[in-house]
Structure 1
Amino acid sequence: MNELAKMGDPNLLEMVLEEGRIASGEIDTSIQMSESMSSRDTILLIREKSMFQKHEQSKDSIFFRDGIRQIDFVLSYVDDVRKDSELKAERRKEFERNLRKSGLELEIEDKRDSEDGRTYFVKIHAPWEVLVTYAEVLGIKMPVKESDIPRNEHNALSYMLGAVKLPTRVKYPRPEYFTAQFSRHRQELFLIEDTSTFFPSSTRNRIVYYILSRCPFGMEDGKKRFGIERLLSSNTYLAAYPLHDGQYWKASEPPNPVNERYILHRNWAQFSVFYKEQPLELIRHYFGEKIGIYFAFLGFYTEMLFIAAVVGLSCFIYGLLSMHGSQSSIEICDPEIGGKLIMCPLCDVVCDFWRLNSTCLASKFSHLFDNESTVFFAIFMGVWVTLVLEFWKQRQATLEYQWDLVDFEEEQQQLQLRPEFEAMCKQRKMNTVTREMEPHMPLWSRIPWYVLSGATVTLWMTLVVACMVAVIVYRLSVFGIFASFIQSEATLEPVRRFLTPQLTTALTGSCLNFVVILILNFFYEKISAWITKMEIPRTYQEYESSLTLKMFLFQFVNYYSSCFYVAFFKGKFVGYPGEYIYLFNTWRSEECDPAGCLIELTTQLTIIMTGRQIFGNIKEAIFPLVLNWWRRRRTRTNSEKLYSRWEQDHDLESFGHLGLFYEYLETVIQFGFVTLFVASFPLAPLLALMNNIIAIRVDAWKLTTQYRRPVAAKAHSIGVWEDILQAIAVLSVATNAFIVAFTSDIIPRLVYYYAYANGTYALEGYVNNSLSVFLIADFPNDTIPVGKRDFDTCRYRDYRNPPDHPNKYLHNIQFWHVLAAKMTFIIVMEHIVFLVKFLLAWMIPDVPKDVVDRIKREKLMTVKILHEFELNKLREDLGVHPEFPKQSETESNKTEQAKRIV
């Protein structure tokens, strides 16, 4: 400061004093170029001094050069040599000037000090006055008194699960407090021991981002432009991010605060602690409530999956133990029964007649998933999914109380307008709730984008259906090839035993369908995000809800359409020999295996679900790791430089606004696999459980090691995803009922057992009874296989009259009995499950009673604390000290008057 004064440059001195401290980084290049040579020399001298101080700092320092002011946010940019470089520089200059006017303190790191020699870093610090002002604006709740309500952690269950419990200092890093919305005029009310640590780092970066997202940077086309997101999208700035506390592999050193990143990595992000509970309080404190509630939901869902996995595994073991005792498999595999049943060709011309015992192994595998336990497991999962959602409501209500989110919804609607919405709005309208004028966009201006959005979603879902039809055409086209190859005499016997034409076609078709799913997902994600932005949603919540609806509708059709086809359409519209139904008058419809279509549905579900989980985990783990390695390798050209904390985080991958959205979407799609088709695959919950155990640690590892620290955000629930889960839960009851009735072979077996077993109440003869007879002479000449035959009839799976019946080949009475039994089963099962669901939903309260009591207690204590504070403050203003027992008559009257006022 003295050097500047001696140089006789009052303009430069005045400008420095006006804009803040004299950190050399705050004086940008444009100012240097406009001043005299003597001024530039002085600034360079100061900068060299600051550079020397920088080298004395630790590379893990999260403070300004003075070692006192903590870095709350970092912006980065490079010199752009293109034609709009001057415009970008002017925008940055104006933006940073307005940031200083808003009270933020900035410190700029020159590109010469960075590792790559080309990146500037703007470090931002929010002083106390800015924090208290915006804490009041955002309605942030802060502690006023330590809570006297016990946590109720000590019970019999907690001692039984001691191995999975975290240390108390990790699980509860801070005591519980009674809280109240912060007010800068009531600072004495709050427990402020140290102003530098009173607001946690997550709250600090949330406040700074709120300012950044609303800070103007200029005018264009008569409209005010503002917000860091616009500057990022135009590459005016490269990145904007808060800093991690320190290195994830070592604890922090003084004067840095406690390294919560290291604690999280050690107790949460390592796979060696996969059996431990999650430190949700620490996650919430470090990353914010929005990320915290996602991991709370994922952990809770995984815990509930354990119950479903145990029951599903038990059903699978039952099927495994009873596989060799299955009467259907015994008859199919018996050379004297299945070996003498000649089956009709599986395709026209090229396919030959075949013997039923060639599907022996496939029938045994089918029994693993198509047995008596299937009905029980379908009903159990209908009840299980209800328990998951009802108990999650309770868990969510508990988190809302513990994380001070009970009244958050009103805050969200009032405060979190998207900057893009505010920038695009030319009109203003009074909010009927707040009675304040706010940006407004009429419906008529959005209608064209809504129409385009609906048309695009419909087009892409139609494209998915078209791709599914293409896969079906592939299956029909290659079925004859597989059938002729597998059934030929030259085929190896092991191949013929393990691979039937149906199973081979299902395997290859499922793999092809999975590849198509991945390709369509890649393109649709880009398109849906662009269309949602064009709709100009009002709030971030509306933006995510709109994008969620688009993405879920598409992925629902994309992932589940093939499973719906196999479950409810394949083998249901086949016709019979001589009168087969053809797709596009070219390809004959697919038939199910004689043991039913359930094994093919299981194959389809297993390939898509397992492939998706493996691909997703590899992508999530490998992709950011490779990108970060390449970025560090490319940028670290000057190893003698400091490679500071902000540079290290800059080289990490960005989590992005939609990072959590895709995590939710992945979990919900998995939830659909676990519930919608679980009757065909009781091991689905087990696969989902193993995947989630890995996914929790992979996600934790990504957030703590491979991604920049996300900006903290609040959320009181999982949002629209809860409604989607409810819809899937209701739909799953119907789909599983239909799978048991129409895809499984249980109902036909029960009908035969009770009505057609000649009074023996046994399944002997069921296979022969389920196969109808067709006279080979009735085959059209253009479909019958070429070759010599020593038999006159063949068999096919259906309930139709024999050739010698007056109404030959029409459905017989047993078909209608089976159909009536199937419809009766669907109605009974759905009513039973829905009745149990509604009873459970009625019996289980959304908010636990102890949480209701705690909320009431906290509200009471908060009101009491505020009342006492205001009363004491009023007494002080009136000159009445609460410690004086004796008062004059005038003072006594004033006190009584003060009490009445309060």
Structure 2
Amino acid sequence: MPQWAEFNLKPDSLYFNDGQRRIDFVLVYEDESKKEHHKKKSFYKKQMRKRQAYESNLIKRGLQLEATRSVLDEKRTFVKVHAPWEVLCTYAEIMHIKLPLQPNDLKTRESAFSCIRRFFSVDENVIKPEQEFFTAPFENDRLSDFYIQDKDTFFNPATRSRIVHFILCRGEYAVRDNVKKFGINKLLDSGIYKAAFPLHDSRFNYQSEEPYCPNERYLLYREWAHPRNIFKLQPLDLVRKYYGEKIGIYFAWLGFYTQMLVLAAVVGLGCFLYGYLTKDNCTWSQEVCDSNIGGNIIMCPQCDQECTYWNLAITCESSKKLCIFDSFGTLVFAVFMGIWVTLFLEFWKRRQAELEYEWDTVEFLEQEEQVRPEYEARCDRVVINEITQQEEHVAYTACGKCVRMTLCTSAVLFWILLIIASVIGIIVYRLSVFLVFSATLPSINGTEAIQKYLTPQAATSVSASVISFIIIMILNMIYEKVAIMITDFELPRTQTDYENSLTTKMFLFQFVNYYSSCFYIAFFKGKFVGYPGDPVYWLGTYRNEECDPGGCLLELTTQLTIIMGGKAIWNNIQEVLLPWLKNLIGRCCAAARSEKVIPRWEQDYHLQPIGKLGLFYEYLEMVIQFGFVTLFVASFPLAPLLALINNMLEIRVDAWKITTQFRRMVPQKAQDIGAWQPIMQGIAILAVVTNAMIIAFTSDMIPRLVYYWSFSIPPYGTHSTYTMKGYINNTLSVFAISDFRNKSKPIAFPMFANLTTCRYRDFRYPPGHEHQYEHSIYYWHVIAAKLSFIIVMEHIIYFVKFIISYTIPDVSKKTKSKIKREKYLIQTLLHENPLKAMKKNMGSIADKIIKGADGTFRPKYD
């Protein structure tokens, strides 16, 4: 059992009471047996026996424990854990942890941007650069080959905590039916322990005066997490050293993504300004707003019976806004973003390769990653390993794995179908509420100003977007728990496999959840509506929605703005406000109960737990944003700018959150960003198609270009230029009111009593034509132009993407040299040198032995 010790009144101490042994981990439990009803005493005694068995097992494995009562709550106990040198060496070899061989002797070259980076970097006098080493997997028998200057600092605190956590995850606490039960996670889930965490090394807002305290948390808060550092580069080496490679690579990726967004944001802002400055020259918008053109065009109702005729001029304001987003700059920006996303992914691969080397995670998955304790506990089957041809224990056979995968896939498909059902519900809502707005808005007295800005289409779009966002958030909260349950049932072998499986499930769900409404507006709404005399009905009841005369692009922009903005606000409330309020309440309650000196471990206990998945949800949030920035950017060129502003805040918010509001996470290794990399590559490929289709089918750019080159030819012999005059009249077909069916015949207000025809958005022959209401030849010209545009744009961008991917190597020449140098040193120091020493010893022994006359060997000087 652990030794007991009273608190020594040193609030920032990181050591046992003897001041010598460092606290590598803290376990917390509460003794409820004295205050509970006698019926529950047996339950708590059983828990106590498990806890005692577990702690005894930890001591047998070499860990040293010291228990201390809480200052604030007598029934709470903190068990401090220390790993001695021998234990660290033993498990470092078992875990194949890479440790320093010798300092890096390769010359570093200054890059062309070093001066600029130095201006935005943290002062090196405050946070000193980490010394680079060549490393190799630790071997206890070759201790002398490793770069050990001080045993107390050879294993840094993050590595020590990682080793102790490895032991805690495999400590046994019970045996039932010849099956061993082990692992701190099981004990936490059952409530036997209330918490388990490594200590922060100091308070975040005050520098510790304790000896040998590096105050890295204080430095991270002051130079990284504080809002004033928003324009500074991140001290990634210190982040990695303090929190581990898994957290470090997330912030490295987020910082790199944010830096790349600067270029996209500048170009997107330029395209937006181009559209804004040229909107007054938008001929087709001028025609809509012209009282002699748009004011005299009466449009056909867009729903049955309840709707009436309406004047095209009421869409004047929306057509002006549309000119900003639906301009030639949109096409340029869509092509640019197709190339930008390739540059981002290729340069990130190079950056990731550099980090893999610098942070010793090269070949981590093959050499260091261990089996998950949850999988290891279920290994009750024996199979033959194909590579080693030896028996090994597994949790399930190939057939069992297929069954699990089938069940998990079925569950995921069910939830995706549930999302699609909710999307259909939103579509039905849009169709239903459009009738209400169409009947209500025009009939309200004195609403000219309202009608100028709030058309039935706009009112429907905004309300549906808000409801869609609320449903998205609700389904997210439910599905997160379901996805974790499904992945737990699937039982992946390693933590990387677990996270990749969960990542795929979560992203598939989020993809459908977030993007389905945008895909509907972009590619389905207004595309299959028929014409006033023969409309198409949804589910046989609801008439399909139509777009404004300017198209659905502005509605898609509205949808993106609401979802992106609402998502950012909601996430910040969840990530910042809730943890801050919980910690504030906890501090107030603690201060009210006691004015005693509170030790470091109890201060950390009252912080928020980080959760089992760490920053998984942060990745998910950013990749969903990445999808919005790339998939639908042709409709909203300001998306990269909004993402840039959000990400600059997101870096500091995430840094502030994990540094000040959460307990210190268990440091973990990670070779890369995992399954997020192929997901982003898939988004990049899909983005080319979606943006080409948005320009072709959602915007009005292709019909305008066809009209510009085909129907606006100046008279022969004149010096006039091509013009867009008459475009609106050309895009609106004519319908005879007498051809309305009784089912869809609208209410005729007195002002429309003498109306004989109305207009609708399509390219069809007019009434009286031999092919009346059939698509005209111009319609097929436009379709051919749209399809040609998609094919040409896709092939051009994909070709450029291929050239970029081919010319930019995934690993830079400098990094390759470092990797080769390290492999050479490992070969020399750990393999060739021992062989040479062995040969030398054998040679010296041979010199001292001679063969006698009788044929026997004896010492030379015998």
- Give the TM-score normalised by the residue count of structure 2: 0.94
2:257 maps to: 301
1:99 maps to: 58
Shift of 1:169: 4.7
2:372 maps to which of 418, 425, 432: 418
Q: Is the 8 A contact 2:13 2:210 kept in 1?
A: no
2:784 maps to: 820
1:615 maps to which of 564, 570, 585: 570
Q: Is the 8 A contact 1:343 1:356 kept in 2?
A: yes
Q: Does 1:870 align with 2:809?
A: no
2:544 maps to: 589
1:898 maps to: none
Q: CA RMSD in A?
A: 2.1
The one-letter amino acid of 2:100's match is: P
2:856 maps to: none
Q: Does 1:213 align with 2:166?
A: no
Q: Does 1:428 align with 2:387?
A: no
The one-letter amino acid of 1:785's match is: I
For 1:208 and 1:638, locate their aligned partners in 2 and report how far apart those are by CA, in whole Å: 33
Q: Is the 8 A contact 2:63 2:84 kept in 1?
A: yes
Matches for 1:111-260 after TM superposition, within 5 Å = 113-152=70-109, 154-169=110-125, 173-260=129-216
The one-letter amino acid of 1:374's match is: T
Q: Does 1:271 align with 2:212?
A: no
Q: Specify whether residues 322 and 355 from structure 1 end up closer, same or farther in structure 2 by C-alpha distance, changes over 3 A only.
A: same
Q: Is the 8 A contact 1:117 1:638 kept in 2?
A: no
Shift of 1:449: 3.7
Q: Is the 8 A contact 2:380 2:393 kept in 1?
A: no
Matches for 1:779-794 after TM superposition, within 5 Å = 779-782=740-743, 783-788=745-750, 789-794=753-758
The one-letter amino acid of 1:794's match is: C
2:532 maps to: 577
Q: Is the 8 A contact 1:345 1:353 kept in 2?
A: yes
1:461 maps to: 416
Shift of 1:709: 0.7
1:775 maps to which of 721, 727, 736: 736
Give the SS at the match of 1:513. helix
Q: Is the 8 A contact 1:116 1:637 kept in 2?
A: no
2:609 maps to: 654
1:90 maps to which of 43, 49, 56: 49
The one-letter amino acid of 2:141's match is: H
2:718 maps to: none
Matches for 1:382-461 after TM superposition, within 5 Å = 382-412=338-368, 415-433=369-387, 435=390, 437-461=392-416
Q: Specify whether residues 430 and 121 from structure 1 end up closer, same or farther in structure 2 by C-alpha distance, changes over 3 A only.
A: farther
Identical amino acids, percent of aligned pairs: 51
Give the SS at the match of 1:593. coil
For 1:500 and 1:340, locate their aligned partners in 2 and report how far apart those are by CA, in whole Å: 18
The one-letter amino acid of 1:63's match is: Y
2:857 maps to: none
Give the SS at the match of 2:129. coil
Q: Specify whether residues 651 and 436 from structure 1 end up closer, same or farther in structure 2 by C-alpha distance, changes over 3 A only.
A: farther
Return 5+ residue gaps in structure 2 as ranges: 34-39, 715-720, 850-862
1:604 maps to which of 555, 559, 575: 559
Give the SS at the match of 2:443. coil
1:525 maps to: 480
The one-letter amino acid of 2:234's match is: Q
For 1:560 and 1:653, locate their aligned partners in 2 and report how far apart those are by CA, in whole Å: 32
2:323 maps to: 367
Shift of 1:350: 2.2
1:381 maps to: 337
For 1:249 and 1:623, locate their aligned partners in 2 and report how far apart those are by CA, in whole Å: 20
Q: Specify whether residues 742 and 696 from structure 1 end up closer, same or farther in structure 2 by C-alpha distance, changes over 3 A only.
A: same
2:17 maps to: 65
1:678 maps to which of 633, 639, 663: 633
Shift of 1:470: 1.2
Greater CA deviation, 577-586 or 295-304? 577-586
Q: Is the 8 A contact 2:382 2:391 kept in 1?
A: no
For 2:246 and 2:401, locate their aligned partners in 1 and report how far apart those are by CA, in whole Å: 29
For 2:583 and 2:104, locate their aligned partners in 1 and report how far apart those are by CA, in whole Å: 44
For 1:774 and 1:720, locate their aligned partners in 2 and report how far apart those are by CA, in whole Å: 54
Q: Is the 8 A contact 2:89 2:140 kept in 1?
A: yes
For 1:723 and 1:117, locate their aligned partners in 2 and report how far apart those are by CA, in whole Å: 51
Q: Does 1:852 align with 2:816?
A: yes
Q: Is the 8 A contact 1:131 1:207 kept in 2?
A: yes
Give the SS at the match of 1:248. coil
Give the SS at the match of 1:802. coil
The one-letter amino acid of 1:652's match is: L
For 1:590 and 1:755, locate their aligned partners in 2 and report how far apart those are by CA, in whole Å: 30
Shift of 1:447: 4.4
For 1:879 and 1:631, locate their aligned partners in 2 and report how far apart those are by CA, in whole Å: 72
Give the SS at the match of 2:308. coil
Return 5+ residue gaps in structure 1 as ranges: 1-18, 26-49, 881-886, 892-902
Shift of 1:117: 2.1
Shift of 1:206: 0.4
1:833 maps to: 797
1:751 maps to: 706
Aligned residues: 833
Shift of 1:582: 1.5
Give the SS at the match of 1:58. coil
Greater CA deviation, 194-203 or 114-123? 114-123
Q: Deviations over 1:35-77 (max 9, x none)?
A: xxxxxxxxxxxxxxx43xx33x411111101011000001111
Shift of 1:193: 2.0
Q: Does 1:802 align with 2:763?
A: no
Q: Deviations over 1:55-114 (max 9, x none)?
A: 3x411111101011000001111123435211111111110001000000000113xx43
Shift of 1:633: 3.7
For 2:517 and 2:846, locate their aligned partners in 1 and report how far apart those are by CA, in whole Å: 88
Give the SS at the match of 1:243. coil
Q: Is the 8 A contact 2:95 2:370 kept in 1?
A: no
For 2:626 and 2:385, locate their aligned partners in 1 and report how far apart those are by CA, in whole Å: 39
1:736 maps to: 691
For 2:253 and 2:59, locate their aligned partners in 1 and report how far apart those are by CA, in whole Å: 40
The one-letter amino acid of 2:531's match is: Y
Matches for 1:482-497 after TM superposition, within 5 Å = 482-488=437-443, 490-497=445-452
1:713 maps to which of 665, 668, 676: 668
1:504 maps to: 459
Q: Does 1:761 align with 2:722?
A: yes
Give the SS at the match of 2:506. helix
For 1:871 and 1:810, locate their aligned partners in 2 and report how far apart those are by CA, in whole Å: 88
The one-letter amino acid of 1:421's match is: Y
1:811 maps to: 775
Greater CA deviation, 165-174 or 256-265? 165-174
